[in-house]
Structures are given as structure tokens and as C-alpha cells.
Structure 1
């Protein structure tokens, strides 16, 4: 499918984060280095795919809205409605930066669109920040594949290390969160 196919693959990667953009983007760059598409087409179509996927997830957040997110949070174990309120306040203070920089963090580049939709970040601002962040991320990986040529798969190895480090930090943060929350609930029940 050429360059549009690379864009479609990246749009799907936004919707299903386990699909690795760290493989798709360098492969698009390698394909461009062989002349099957231009470098501009590879970057343009993959960035367009990123934006399309992000807009779909923004729509999910906007469709659910705050009330449904709070209702879902009330049913989830280890989640307090106050967490939602804190997240809203944090996003209100740092929302634009999180959308821009979140495009360059594995897994989060997809998920950051949902709170942006819930908070109804202005669509033009969301589109500009998403496009710029995605353009930087995609250009780096497409160029790496383009410059490495036949050795494009080396990019995945280094990106995989970075992805694992980021995911390790996130996993540790989740464990700490769960332990703190369980202890707090245990104390709360003991006080009753």
C-alpha cells in the first residue's frame, strides 16, 4: 500500500498501542531509501496516520465525557473520584505540554488523547500540538530507517530499550500507587 499503508499502520498503532511504531516508522524510512516512496511521503503519511488515530481517541474521550469517566471510576477498584479531580486539575495546568510531549513517549502517545477529549481541549490546539509532536517523533524514526537502509531493524533494538525503560518506570509508579492506595484504604477501614 506504499506511503498511505504506512499512515494506516501508524493510525492503527495509535488505536492499539501494542503495535510498535518503533518498527513501522524505520521500515517506512527504509522503504523510502529504496525509492518505493519519497522521504516526504513517508513522513507526511505517517504523521497524518498519527493525527487520525489521535483524533479518534480524542473523540472517545469527548464522547464519554466527565460524568461517564467519573461513573466508571466509581466502579473501579483502587480508584477514587478525587483522583479524577486531581487529574483534571493537572491536565488543566499542563494539558498543552502533555499533548505535545506525550506524542514522543511510547504508549502514552496514544492514551494522552483521551483526557484531552474529556477536557474538551480546543480541537485546533489539539491538532497543532498532536501534529507537531507526531511530526518530530515520526521524522526521527523514519530518518533513522532511511539513513540505516538495509540495517533499519537496528532502530528497533535501541528504541526497544528506551520503551522498556519508560514502561518499567510506569510499572513501578503503578505498583507504588496501588500499595499506597491499599494502605490508605486499610487505615480508613481501621478507623471506622
Structure 2
């Protein structure tokens, strides 16, 4: 299925928030200008941020200063390289750590990556390091298909430790800028309650 149609599916399942300012991809040199088209379309619609406060989608670019900036691909990729070095189970499916590029992390510290061995970024499959199971597993789909597959329970089992997203009927995406604005206004970004200052 074309990425555009799957992006339409994800927009129905998880409508973008109002007033989202998408993140302009800043392509670091080490990526060679290559990232999958479905991911770039997702970032253009949603920007960087989190799904239900339990899965964070990273943005292209180098690590920025702390304080509410979006999670950069470079930082989560470093974590993926460490995980590969520590737990090489499934490494025969992936190759070496240099063929892993991460695009997200969940609240179970599972790492969501691409295997970048194909010349065309649109052919990169998703690889997940499930920390609880201490294993890598490759899924022959792109990032948007992977998210739709989690939300609609299209895999044989939940591929990530954050099972609250498995079959999620109304997941919510919160752009990092909106989360930061809500916190600055004293509003809890995920439950709408008041934040108390201590």
C-alpha cells in the first residue's frame, strides 16, 4: 500500500492537533540526505513529539540543548548502537550497528529503528529492539505502516513493550512545541489537569 494512503489511515486514527507547526527536517550530513518518504510525510504533518506520552518520534537533526526540544534521531540512534553492542540477538537480520538508524523510543525503552542496508530509503524495514525480551526483530514495512500495524493489531503480537498502544482506538499525538506550551501554561499536557509548582 502506498505511504500516502497509510498516512491517511493514521490521520483518521490519530488526528493531528490544531495549530501544529511541523518540524522542518534538518538533514545531518551523516544521513546523506536519505530518509524514508513516509517518515518525512509524517514529520511534515505531525512534527516531532509523542504518542499517548509513551512513544516518542524523533526528528532529523543533531542533538539540541535540553529544555523541551524534540528528540533528535542522532541521540536515539546512539542508544540503538549501544543496544546492538550489548544484545546482538537478531544481528544476523540487521548486520552491524552502522546499518541501524533509529526514529523512535517507547516508555519501555524499546528502540524503533530502520535497517538502512538498502540503497533506497523507502525500502528500509523497521527493526525493533524490545528491551523486555532482549531481542531485535525486523518488520518488513515502513514507519507509518508499523504505527498503523500497532494501532490496528496487524502483527502476530505486540512488537513493543508499551502494550497500551496495541489496538489503541484513539491514540493522541502531541507535538513537542504544544507540550512545552501547555507545561508553561501550568497545564498537564496529557491529562489536562493543573501542574503545581513546588
* Structure with the bigger percentage of helix: 1
Q: TM-score range by the shorter chain?
A: under 0.3
**Greater share of strand:** 2
Task: Give TM-score scaled by structure 2 length.
Answer: 0.26
Q: Which has the higher contact order (CA 8 A, sep 6+)?
A: 1
Tell which structure's C-alpha radius of gyration is larger.
1
